[in-house]
Every structure is written in structure tokens, then in C-alpha cells.
Chains A and B, each alone.
Chain A
Amino acid sequence: MIEVTNLHSGYGRIPILHGIDLKMKPGEVVGILGHNGMGKTTLLRTLVGNIKATSGRIDFAGHDITRASTAERSRTGIGYVPQGRDIFPQLSVMENLKMGEIMRNGESAIPEMLDHFPVLKDLLERPGRGLSGGQQQILALARCLAGRPKLILLDEPTEGIQPSIVDLIAEKLGELRAALNLGIILVEQDIRFIRQLADRVLIIQKGVFVAEISPQQLYDREAVDAHLGI
């Protein structure tokens, strides 16, 4: 579904990614682990086009999207839920959801999303700024999924969220992944969350993947620390 070859990118003259290679099948969940500043968020932002790749190639669903704009990448089926959620605070929950689905023709995905995330049903008229952190995260996820993406990139979705909401998000992502054959790239510090969802885990250090481990290996704390260079 997505194939990243020798990807380099960075901020201005500061290179962050130094040759990322990644290949994912449809419906696969890949977790990415790494310390702060190793390039996890930069990788996601390069994949969605927020940051331009300085070299390398990104193919998605059979198309070279390396030079495509952010909006074009979104329209080809890449969804992104960034750190901090980035919901529209002035728009209501329903309007936020509509923003996610407007570009899609055919049936609305909103009723389906409300079935998956019933907590939003009672909040539809409430402005985004009036939601708790957990509710905002659920809204950001539902809005992203309302665009029926084939691949979603999640940047630390559990950050600052209470454990019950984290469990709910993990459960729903598992269901949706199976139902929609949804690919997920998951950047996360919460090892328990990655273990619940990921098919495989890539360790990133200084802008390159240095190891690939199975979710089961995450139970071995010493091995994880060794991979992370601790």
C-alpha cells in the first residue's frame, strides 16, 4: 500500500531523516518507537506532505506522491491525526466531522463514525473548544476516519489522555482496522498501546530505522531498552 524508499527530509538546512525505507501491506499496523528528536513526527509530516522530502520516493496505492501537495495526498487516502489533535475549536463537533468527509463523494461516513464513537452523539452541537482532551482525540480520530482513508498516521494518540479513553481508542482502532482493512502507522510512547495494535514495531534512531521487532518482544523491557540505545 505504501512504499517509502531512501527518504530524506528535514527542517531548512537541518536534516532529520537520513534514508528511511518502509513497506506496508494494506491493513497492516506498524508501530514506530524512538526517543524524542529521532524523527518520528518528521517522518509522519513528510509522509503527509507538511515537510518536503529532500530526496527519496514515496509511493502510495501505486502512485508516486513524493511531490504531491498535502491536500492531494489526503485525497488519495492518507489520513493524519497529529499530536495535539488540531481540531477546529470554533466549529461544532458535527461541523468538524463534516470537514473530514466533505471531499468524499457518495454516502456519508458520519453515522458510521457516530456508531463507533457514541460518546460524540451527545456532543454534536458543542464547539470543539468545549471538549475534554480525550473527547478531542476521539473527535480528531473520527473526523480523520470520516474521510475513509486507506492509511492513517497517528502521532502519539494517547498523549495526555486518561487510561479509559486510551483503552477505548485502542479497541475501536482494532475494530475499524479489521472492518475497513485500514493501514495504520502509529507513533507512540505508550508501549502497552503499541503492543495492543501493532503487527510489527520499527525502532527509529537519528532519522533511520535501526531495528524491527515483534510486539511480543516489547514485553522484554531489557531488549527494548537495548534497541532504543539505553
Chain B
Amino acid sequence: MTAACNGTGGIVAAVIIGLALLVVVPLVVDPIFLIELTSYVILAILALSLGLIWGYGGILCFGQSAFFGIGAYAYAIAVINMGDSTIPLILSIVVPALFAALLGYFLFYARITDVYFGVITLTVTLILYKLMGTTSGSAYTIGNAAIGGYNGIPAIPPLNLPGSPTTFLSLDGLFYAAGLTLLAVYVGLRLMLKSRFGQVVVAIRENERRAELLGYDARFYKLAAFTIGGGIAGLAGCLFANWGMFISPDVFGLAQSAQVIIWVIVGGTGTLLGPIVGCFLVQWIATQLGTQQVLNANLVLGTILIGFVLLVPKGITPTVLDLIERTCQRRSYAKPLVEKRSVS
């Protein structure tokens, strides 16, 4: 079953289920929850970007929110100046991808790995947080866009149809756009991971030295995966800026950086479904906890997360897939015995 899930059939099934959810969900949930759900979908794209570089590339990046924030700011500044959102949307992918390529070049080619990589990426993110916080005042204006320091950039124009700056996306429309983007990123990454490039990335995660002995420049492949992850996170940032029509340096904060890692840990690394599941679940629990007044929400959420790490260390999705695989194996082992008995 898991083999089937990993093949083309699995991708087709994912597309059908994804499209079905996109059609059905807006019909059955109330508009307020749809807005909430849209943010989960957008954040799931961010989770997927880390799922790629950590789960498949083996690169533990504590600064994925840096690319998310850069994408959001790139979109906001560009769309305020340009009016039409088409080029700003592209910039929200290209600018963080270039930033990831530049940062990754110095880190990977200097052979910086493991915890050092995590510390440096986190530091870069926190530097961006401080840097963007100091941009209040009229001196920090790019064209018509005032960056606004810790106050952020409000009233960001939403996405519009390409070439038609006055035809904006509605809230429903943003849900569809975010859902289709999540689906497209998921399918794109599945296909990429099935390609030779993807297999080399996985092989490097498993044994970097061995991959180099087979002729692959591990630094280049890791840089490429990191850059793709940066671009995807930037795209999520663009959608996030659309969702709230506001962006502030908080996207570069420690909480945001840690949150992405928690989604992936809860959902499970080494799968693409895991980060999506983890993001939806953690965000939903956080929202539910926020609606009650009895218990401290952060305390409860922290306890739940510790419970997850201790009880389901591999994360939800790999654990469930393992269970399914074991069940299938038990059935396939049991079959010949039944046949033998019937023969005898």
C-alpha cells in the first residue's frame, strides 16, 4: 500500500483528494473558519518547504521563517509600488530564493553542517528581525512603501488577476488560490523527489560521503534543494501577506522560526504529507486553546508537543504509514498459510 502511495497512483490520488477538499470545504464550513483555514493552508506551504530541506535534504534550518518573511516583504513593497500583483508575486519567490542561494553558498561550500548550520540560520533570521524593526520613520521608504519598523506594513493590496489590477481575490478566492498552490507545491515536490535530482538529494541525506564517492557534488545538490525551499517559503510569505493584508518583523521572530520546526516534528520528517498534517493539527489545537479561558494555552500546547515528541518520536505520518505497512505485511504473510491449510 505504501509503495502504491509513493507511486504515480499516489500523486493522482493526492490531486483528486486535494481538489475535492477545495470544492467541498468552502461549502460546509462557516466563513470565519474558512479564513482561519486559509491561514493553515498558507502555513502548510511554509511547513512543506522545511519538510523538503530537512526531511529530504537532511538540512536542519532554523531560519525558514527568514525566507517566509523576505517573500512577504518583497511582495508587499513591490505591490504597493507597482499596483499589479503579478510581478510582485514572482519577486516573492525569486528574492528569497536568491537570498537562500547566497546564504547557502557560503554555508554549504564552507562545509558547515549540523548544529552550526542551525545556529547560523537562526542568527540570520533574528538579525533580520532586528533589522526590519529599525526601519520605522520616513527615511525607510522604498518608493511608496513605508517599511514601518515594528509597526509593519499595513493595507497591502491583495492579489489580482494577472494584467487586471482592479480585479482582486475575494476571501474565498484566496482560499482557492492558497489551496491550489499547496497542491501544486506538494505535487511538484513529489515529482521532483522521484526524479534523479530528488534521489541524489535523498542519497546525500543518507550518506553524503558515499554520494560524493559516486561522483555527486553534495554541496551543489544541497544548495539547490535549499534554494528551492527558500523560494517555496517566500511564496507562502506572499500569500500570508495577502491573507492578513499586513506584515511585520514578527514573521522573523523566534516563535515563528520554532513553530515551523514543531509542525514538521509533529507531522513527521521524511514525508511531504507529514509537515502539512503537523501544521494543520498544531495550528488547530492552538486556535482551540485560544478560545478557552481556563488553562494557559501555551502551557497546554507545550505539554501536548512534549507528549508528541516522547510518544510519537517519528511524527504522526511516518508512524501511521509504518502501521499500515506492518498490517499489509502481516496480511501478506498470513495469506500463504491460509492457502496451504485449504489445500491440506
| Given known contacts A80-B213, A125-B3, A86 and B200 CB-to-CB distance under 8 angstroms | no
| Given known contacts A95-B199, A99-B199, A102-B196, A88 and B207 CB-to-CB distance under 8 angstroms | yes
| Given known contacts A95-B199, A99-B199, A90 and B206 CB-to-CB distance under 8 angstroms | yes
Contact (Cβ within 8 A) B215 A71: yes
**Chain B nearest CB, measured from A82 CB (Å):** 8
B216 at the A interface (CB under 8 A): yes
| Given known contacts A71-B217, A90-B206, A91-B199, A99 and B3 CB-to-CB distance under 8 angstroms | no
- The contact string, 1 if C-beta is below 8 Å from chain B, for chain A 60-97, is 00000000011100110000101000111111000100
Q: Give A80 to B213 CA distance when docked, in angstroms.
A: 7
Contact (Cβ within 8 A) B212 A71: yes
Partner of B200, one of A69, A87, A89, A99: A99
Number of A-B contacts (CB under 8 A): 60
A207 at the B interface (CB under 8 A): no
Contact (Cβ within 8 A) A91 B203: yes
Nearest CB in chain B to that of A95: its residue: B199
**Chain A nearest CB, measured from B219 CB (Å):** 9
A147 at the B interface (CB under 8 A): yes
Q: What residues on B are CB-neighbors of A147 within 8 Å?
A: 214-215
**Chain B nearest CB, measured from A112 CB (Å):** 17
Given contact pairs A48-B213, A99-B211, enumerate 20 new A-B contacts (beta carbons under 8 Å): A50-B209, A69-B212, A71-B215, A71-B216, A71-B218, A74-B213, A74-B214, A74-B215, A82-B210, A86-B207, A86-B209, A86-B213, A88-B202, A91-B199, A95-B199, A99-B199, A99-B214, A102-B199, A103-B214, A143-B214
What are 28 A-B pairs at a CB distance below 8 A? A48-B213, A50-B209, A69-B212, A69-B217, A70-B213, A71-B212, A71-B217, A71-B218, A74-B214, A74-B215, A75-B215, A86-B209, A86-B213, A87-B210, A88-B206, A88-B207, A88-B210, A89-B206, A90-B202, A91-B199, A95-B199, A98-B199, A99-B199, A99-B203, A99-B211, A102-B199, A103-B214, A103-B215
